[in-house]
Chain A
């Protein structure tokens, strides 16, 4: 069983640029959730995609957007990058309901 994989593992961008992060779900999982983890903090929920539709959003501005594809893989897009966007971005896949979420090891994004 293949786990959740994220790419790239590390990324450096400058303010104002745009970035796309990718996530490959665990086989059979139809739900993908994205989280942002600042240094020393717990992960914060950005949004979730369920069967290719956004299914809940946390307190993040519209410049954070996403997609889920028919194979349930997903992208997180961030426009107009700001210094505070520097963080670890985590993707988690799961089945619906109260099933455990399975996390990738994240993409470390640094904004200069």
Chain B
């Protein structure tokens, strides 16, 4: 299983941008970079994913390094509701039927201060 490395924890202030880093130096050419987050007492929630180009959606932006060995999840204005554990996950594009499993690490626990 492809591995990712994330800081154990990060802290931010409300309404400030947050940059959550992820290293994936062994990424293969067919691996997508996915981000999920898990709020307290809830199941994980899909945030965003990308392959090579930077991606934006209503929740966040994903910046992918040119060599794809690292990526950064960007929350443009953190709110208290963004306090969660954020997981960076690699998923192989070429799954054989079904859905490629998610391999979770410990993620980054984000604390947002009011």
Contacts and interface: CB of A to CB of B under 8 A. Distances in A.
Chain B's interface size range is: 20 to 34
Given A42-B107, A98-B32, A100-B34, A106 B101 contact: no
Nearest to B32: A98
Interface string A37-52: 0001111110010100
Given A43-B44, A98-B32, A102-B46, A50 B106 contact: no
Nearest to A58: B101
Contacts of B100: 97-98
B104 A42 contact: yes
A105 B99 contact: no
A58, A97, A105 — which one has the most chain B CB atoms within 10 A of its CB? A97
A96 B98 CA distance: 4
Contacts of A95: 99
Given A90-B43, A92-B43, A101 B102 contact: yes
8 contacts: A33-B101, A42-B87, A56-B101, A58-B101, A99-B99, A101-B46, A103-B43, A104-B43
